[in-house]
Structure 1
Amino acid sequence: MSTAAGRIQRAETNVRLAKETLELGRLQFDAGDINLVELNIYEKSVTESQLSLIEAQFDYFAAQADYRAALSLDPLAE
């Protein structure tokens, strides 16, 4: 589970960085330095990083459920 938790942390960092890059891209677009296609690439990067975060969270919770099932623990208990 620690591997899955590490993936969540990395994915959260990637989302934050992608959002920062998008904000810089918007400033460049507003200044006329990049075109709409390039801005869309930044937006796509944010979406893909958010999807990776969701996948990492799913993997973490699946690993947690498998672990609890292997120990015959209540899957809903904390």
Structure 2
Amino acid sequence: MVSGKQVHINRLTERGRMLCIPMDHGITAGPMKGLDTIYQTIEKIEEGGATAFLVQKGIIKHMKRVPRIGFIVHVSASTSICP
């Protein structure tokens, strides 16, 4: 029997390997180049061969389509002003 955990991990990997691009810096570090056009950046990451990306929950909520690669949602946050 296959576990739900294994199904989710398989969505993030390709041939047992994972390249995850973290893009959850915007809340903690403020605006950054590439994150100001995050949806275009996600498209480039999908085309570039990454198997997953990591973003804050609001990014996924406002996407106009389902991502073509796996994604991990960072659900907690702190800022440089208040940890």
Provide the TM-score with structure 2 as the length reference: 0.25
- Indicate the structure (1 or 2) with the bigger Cα radius of gyration: 1
The structure that is helix-richer by fraction is 1
